[in-house]
Structure 1
Amino acid sequence: MDLFFKYLEYEKRYSPHTLTSYHTDLGQFADYLQEVYQISDAAEADHAIIRSWLLSLVQRHLEARSINRKIACLRSYYRFLLSQQRIQVNPMLRIKAPKASKKLPGFVLEQPFNNLLDTFEFEETFEGYRDKLILEFLYGTGIRLAELIGVEHADLNMHARTVRVLGKGNKERIIPINDSLHATIELYLVAKKTEVADNNSEKLLVTTKARPLYPKFVYRVVKKYISLITTSDHNSPHTLRHSFATHLLNKGADLNAIKDLLGHASLAATQVYTHNSIEKLKSIFEKAHPKA
């Protein structure tokens, strides 16, 4: 398993989030093999044993999306074992994934969130500017949580007003910086220079002790402020990524352009946002069609 995770990290360039999830999934599978079948090596498991584990997950009412992620993990793992000649037959070839219902991505309403950014009195301190920058960055660029944490000073081009982002599969993309985000970055950089001691970190976003931010920290900040404008459960960093795409689409942005900004590999992943914009489409239809 250690070799497998090194392969995913250094050769396949999987994101830290995916690696953490796969660690959890394989660990749970290994525990099941040991407890139920007294098997200590996953290479000894056949398709019937794997299917019994998946069935146990269904019986525990685990969502189909979560089960499919575990199946994806096992598929990668057994393909790796096959390539290493640890097994002769891939047991996952006989495993079918359950159909998962497609959940529409949650988003915040445009006006309330922009009012929050424009009128909320963030503290004029390093922490206050950092909190606002987290919100502005996620909503203003649509980048993922892992991409935000990975942004370095060298990735910013304040003159050209762009930021270079390293996305999934180690793919780079350039995203424009809007005026509001640009102004917040400048305030943050001044506060960071004057208030954070011993700050030699290459990372843009850091704690008060000059350490790079971590996922739970960003989650807490986003939840804290989104909770001020909505009681919805959609209050994660990814909610702001969804909001970025939905609001662009509502304003008439081209779907291909949104795809490139989000760093999606295919247009199919971006098309889900068209469902969120149905009310906007209805409004346009009612105003424009002679029979509406």
Structure 2
Amino acid sequence: MSTIQAERPSQLGEAIEDFAEHQRLVRGRSEATVRSYRSDLLDLARNVRTFDELTLNALRTWLAAAVTEGKSRATLARRTASARAFTSWAVRAGYLESDVAARLASPKINRPLPDVLSDRQADHLVTEPAQSDDSPESVRDVAMLELLYASGMRVAELCGLDTTDVDLARRTTRVTGKGNKQRTVPFGESAAAAIREWIDHARPELDHGDGGSALFLGSRGGRINPRQVRRVVEKSAAASGAGHVSPHDLRHSAATHMLEGGADLRVVQELLGHSSLQTTQIYTHVSAQRLKDVFSRAHPRA
């Protein structure tokens, strides 16, 4: 009886695993980012098995095949980014003499402008839980919503906060963002009052010892998770009449309102934790579009 042996991993396949570990452990990439890199590159490795075969033409052929398969422009852009990250690492690791993906063109993606709440909608949304009851969960929800809107932080960053990260006297919090980069973010008196009420009076009622030093706790006492925060935002938005709103919509709204209030673009970049100013610049387009909308509604000669 013959034994079928498993196919031995290709040279490229083995290097991809090393690359994924480097991204996870050294660069501090999120698991979602590492999974995307690995999935894209293993798809490439189905036809390109060695570094000798990894050429600019081979990469273009791989992307052309994705077009034939009907892949979206967003998928093509992501695959291009994965290839560029991999070949850049491969040069530093000594696998390649030159960065073959450096000249790989990435398709332009027409990104829709993010949804932004009005000032009034945002105000109603963050205070809505206080209208229902005075339970520990409602006090917590107001504190979370106030902080999300005041700071523009990501929902995962909010969930990762510890009580020691918040300085109520200075009204600042230390936030750990993507790639484990830390930044200090200010917040206003409304958020400070809500957080103080949560820490002093409501948090002890939910603290069963499972949450450790977590700033925000779930109903069972452990550190709150992003899914729970999303439910809080969606429930508050629906109750306040704002429609469907996600935590990221609050982040978009915070950034847009800061720019409309006169904040410098680079300050907003720092507050949001964007590594590139180009990412932050989308909010200038949002502000301009909102100005046009107001003009068309309000000006008699519009």
Instruction: Name the TM-score, length of structure 2 as normaliser.
Output: 0.77
Of structures 1 and 2, the larger Rg is shown by 2
Equivalent runs, 1:1-292 vs 2, <5 Å: 1-14=16-29, 16=30, 19-31=31-43, 33-34=45-46, 37=47, 45-120=54-129, 121-189=131-199, 190-228=201-239, 229-231=241-243, 235-278=245-288, 281=291
Answer whether contact 2:24 2:34 (CA < 8 A) is retained.
Answer: no
- Cα gap change, 1:118 to 1:226, in 2 (>3 Å): closer
Shift in alpha-carbon separation, 1:63–1:227, aligned structure 2, 3 A: farther
Between the two proteins, what is the percent identity of the paired residues?
Answer: 30
Amino acid paired to 1:224: K
Give the equivalent residue in structure 1 for 2:3: none
Q: What SS does the corresponding residue of 2:102 show, helix, strand or coil?
A: helix
Change (3 A) 1:108 1:30: same
Q: CA deviation at 1:28?
A: 4.4
Contact 2:149 2:251 in 1 (8 A): yes
Q: Residue 99 of structure 1 aligns to which amino acid in structure 2?
A: K
Distance 1:55 1:236 in 2: 35
Aligned residue for 2:183, secondary structure, equals: strand
- Amino acid of the residue matched to residue 203 of structure 1? A
Change (3 A) 1:134 1:53: farther
Tell me by how many angstroms 1:33 deviates: 4.0
Change (3 A) 1:210 1:71: farther
CA 146–97 in structure 1, closer or farther in 2 if over 3 Å, else same: same
CA contact (8 A) 1:30 1:40 kept: no
* 2:101 match: secondary structure: helix
SS in 2 for 1:277: helix
| Secondary structure of the structure 2 residue equivalent to 1:24 | helix
In angstroms, what is the RMSD of aligned CA positions?
3.2
Structure 2: where are the runs of 5+ without partners? Answer: 1-15
Give the letter for the 1:186 counterpart. R
Q: Bigger shift: 221-230 or 267-276? A: 221-230
Greater Cα offset, 99-108 or 48-57:
48-57
What per-residue deviation string (whole Å, max 9, x for no partner) do you get for residues 57-88 of structure 1? 33454442342223212211222223222344
Aligned amino acid, residue 143 of structure 2:
L
3-state SS of the aligned residue for 1:207? coil
Any conservation in 2 of the 1:122–1:129 contact (CA below 8 Å)?
no
For the Cα contact (< 8 Å) 1:206–1:213, is it kept in 2?
Answer: yes
Specify whether residues 125 and 73 from structure 1 end up closer, same or farther in structure 2 by C-alpha distance, changes over 3 A only: farther
**Alignment length (residue pairs):** 280
What secondary structure, in the 3-state scheme, does the structure 2 residue paired with 1:93 have? Answer: coil
CA change 1:51–1:230 in 2 (3 A) is: farther
Question: How far does residue 111 in structure 1 lie from its aligned partner after superposition?
Answer: 0.9
What SS does the corresponding residue of 1:92 show, helix, strand or coil? coil
Higher RCO (CA < 8 A, seq sep 6+):
1
TM-score by length of structure 1 reads 0.79
